[in-house]
């Protein structure tokens, strides 16, 4: 897997975390270094661990599905990307009273929710027979950095750009899935 693909996947996966960080940055006042570290670290950690979990599961079933792996990778990435785009267009529930989303169970739930897509990507990486360690590290680092940046931008932009960023992330995942499919069907 080349660096551009790894970086594209990393940025696409981090879009959920970035969008949540934008919203978190809009409700936390003032934002401290502690807020940035807590949310950035947890989002990055969960984003790095989820692909490893998906990869480990995928490696156990690889020998039975290697003939269809590129279709599975395409399907998973298209599903995750399509779901991200779909969720961006859904109506939001009424806002609750603002609280600090960088603390307690709220942070854990947000960390899991923003990294579930990374599990499917890890499964896709296993189907391609690629090592997960470098992609997982890059995914985690990119998610952590974009989370911190999202919080800082959220202070200025609020939730205005959150949906657009999530749509872009979903579209990038779909395009990466299409690239994998085309590489395996047209080049063989």
DSSP string over 51-112: HHHHHHHHHHHHHHHGGGHHHHHHHHHHHHHHHHHHHHHSPPPPPPPP--TTSHHHHHHHHH
Please enumerate, as own/partner, the contacts of 129-137 that have beta carbons within 8 Å and a separation of 24 or more. 129/62, 129/66, 129/69, 130/1, 132/51, 132/52, 132/55, 133/52, 134/1, 134/6, 135/1, 135/6, 135/9, 135/10, 135/51, 136/48, 136/49, 136/51, 136/52, 136/55, 137/48
For residues 79 and 97, which has the higher predicted lDDT (pLDDT)?
79
Dist. CA 106–CA 109, nearest whole Å:
5
**Residue 187: its pLDDT value, please?**
66
**Residue 50: its pLDDT value, please?**
92
Q: What pTM did the predictor assign?
A: 0.71
Using pLDDT thresholds of 50, 70 and 90, give the confidence band for residue 77: confident
**Residue 95: its pLDDT value, please?**
46
By three-state DSSP, how is residue 162 classified?
helix
In the chain, what is the straight-line distance between the N-terminal and C-terminal CA atoms, in Å?
A: 17
Contact criterion met (CB below 8 Å) for 43 and 117: no
């Amino acid at each position: 897997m080349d660096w551009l693909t790894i970086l594209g996947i990393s940025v696409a996966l981090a879009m959920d975390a970035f969008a949540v960080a934008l919203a978190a940055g809009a409700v936390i006042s003032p934002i401290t270094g502690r807020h940035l570290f807590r949310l950035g670290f947890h989002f990055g950690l969960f984003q790095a661990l989820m692909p490893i979990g998906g990869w480990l599961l995928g490696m156990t079933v690889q020998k039975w599905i290697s003939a269809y792996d590129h279709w599975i990778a395409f399907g998973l990435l298209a599903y995750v990307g399509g779901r991200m785009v779909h969720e961006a267009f859904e109506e939001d529930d009424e806002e609750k009273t603002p609280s600090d989303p960088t603390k307690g169970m709220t942070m854990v739930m947000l960390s899991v929710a923003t990294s579930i897509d990374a599990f499917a990507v890890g499964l896709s990486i296993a189907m391609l027979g690629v090592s997960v360690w470098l992609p997982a590290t890059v995914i985690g680092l990119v998610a952590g950095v974009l989370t911190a940046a999202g919080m800082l931008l959220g202070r200025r932009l609020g939730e205005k750009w959150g949906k657009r960023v999530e749509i872009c992330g979903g579209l990038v995942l779909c395009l990466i899935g299409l690239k994998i499919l085309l590489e395996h069907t047209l080049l063989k």
